[in-house]
Amino acid sequence: MTIQRAIVLPSDPFNPHNVDEAFTKEASVVRWNETLVSILIDHDELQTSGNLKIKGDSYDSPVEGVYRGWMVAPSQYEVFYAALKSHNIILRTTPTMFRKAHMIDGWVEALKGLTPDTVLLGLNPSVEEILNAGISLASESFFVKDYVKARKHEWAEACYAPTLDVLPTIVKNMITLQEEYLTGGVAIREFIHFDKKVEIRYWWVKGEFVTSIVHPDFAGKEIVSVPEEFLIQVNERLNTLDLRYLAVDFAKTVDGKWYVVEIGDGQVSGFPNDLDDETVEKVLTS
């Protein structure tokens, strides 16, 4: 059977001939699906040196590639993409697409009204800029992150601002704690009280939603369906972005209103540990 897709996976740092244990489920699916082949890459090499060597021979004709692995910076993804392309493995997500999906400034405007209101600032905003951003959001409280990550594990110190008065302190704490990992700038978002029992991740591939799972942070919770009419609205907006492979996280308020909380590149978005093989295969082969 002809190979239709190369699934690119990180190798085990201590045994480079094996897949990283966090991605054994993907590797298992590849083994029994004859249309897929796995390619191992050294993620640590990419992170530390900025270079990447691809293990294995080049293909005679182009093969579509899909990465399933650890998060990388957009600049590292460019190196990664070029190295695979030199072996005739063409990742379906270009570096431009990766950046747009990976960073909030690439998609938040397209989803305005369907995602919490957001103001984007630079890497080191002034107190005045921060306060003006908060005022413009007309929200009683705020969620703070950089363009990629929030420090949810330091919720009260560097993520959640319960009032406008403390917003500058929370922003400055986030910047300080992120240090060299601060990416893009500061995003200040309207804080919405979501149902703490529900967050759903949908995979969106080439213009349509293909499957849904419980968000990894909500493992063990019941899977629920996002209303079809809301999915249609979101799908129409996503189709304006010229992207191909996304994870889209949905949450709802206690009174049942749905929002897109976040979107991200589907290659670096996590699965819950108990996800079944059939759903993994659908994500890899769609």
DSSP string across 213-227: EE-GGGTTSPP-PPP
What tokens appear for 247 in the block? 């994870």
Is residue 51 pLDDT above 80, yes or no?
Answer: no
Determine the average pLDDT of the residues in 220-238. Answer: 89
**Residue 3: per-residue pLDDT:** 67
Alpha carbons 178 and 145: distance in angstroms, whole number: 10
Residue 191, H or E segment:
none
Q: What is the predicted pLDDT for the residue at 215?
A: 78
Work out the average pLDDT over 223-236: 93
CB 65 within 8 A of CB 92: yes
- pLDDT given for residue 69 in this prediction: 93
Q: Are 167 and 97 in contact (CB under 8 A)?
A: no
CATH architecture of 102-106+193-285: 2-Layer Sandwich (3.30)
Least confident of 97-106, 139-148, 271-280: 271-280
Lowest mean pLDDT among 41-45, 60-64, 177-181, 255-259: 41-45
Tokens describing residue 185: 């700038």
Q: How far apart are CA 27 and CA 256, in angstroms?
A: 38
Mean pLDDT value of segment 11-28:
91
Question: In degrees, to the nearest 5, what angle opens at C-alpha 241 toward C-alphas 277 and 9?
Answer: 35
- Per-residue pLDDT, averaged over 259-280, amounts to 90
Of 273 and 229, the one with more pLDDT: 229
Burial code (b: 16+ CB inside 10 Å, e: under 16) for 191-219 equals bbebeeebbbbbbbbeeebebbbbbeebe
As a whole number of angstroms, the distance between CA 164 and CA 116 comes to 17
Angle (deg, nearest 10), helices 277-285 and 24-32: 80
Q: Which range has the worst mean pLDDT, 101-105, 123-127, 246-250, 275-279? A: 275-279
Identify the pLDDT of residue 167: 98
Instruction: Give the list of residues 6+ apart from residue 97 with CB closer than 8 angstroms, or none.
Output: 242, 243, 244, 245, 265
Count CB neighbours of 227 within 10 A: 13
CA distance readout (Å), 39 to 16, 65, 71, 91, 121: 12, 9, 17, 12, 39
Q: What is the mean pLDDT of residues 60-68?
A: 91
Write the DSSP string, 103-163.
SGGGTTTTTBTTB--EEEE-SS--HHHHHHHHHHHT-SSEEEEESS---GGGHHHHTEESS
- Considering 46-55, 110-119, 193-202, the range whose residues carry the highest mean pLDDT is 110-119
| Position 1 pLDDT exceeds 60 | no
- pLDDT, position 42: 86
Contact 271, 29 (CB under 8 A): no
Region 172-201 average pLDDT = 93
Q: Confirm whether pTM is higher than 0.85.
A: yes
Q: Which stretch of 45-54, 134-143, 180-189 has the lowest confidence by average pLDDT?
A: 45-54
56 torsion bin: left (phi>0), alpha (psi -120 to 50), beta (else): left
Burial of 251: CB neighbours in 10 Å, binned 0-12, 13-18, 19+: buried
Look at the block and give the residue holding tokens 């690439």: 106
Candidate ranges 13-27, 43-57, 164-178; pick with highest mean pLDDT: 164-178
| pLDDT, mean over the chain | 91
Domain ranges within the chain, ordered by starting residue: 5-91, 102-106+193-285, 118-190
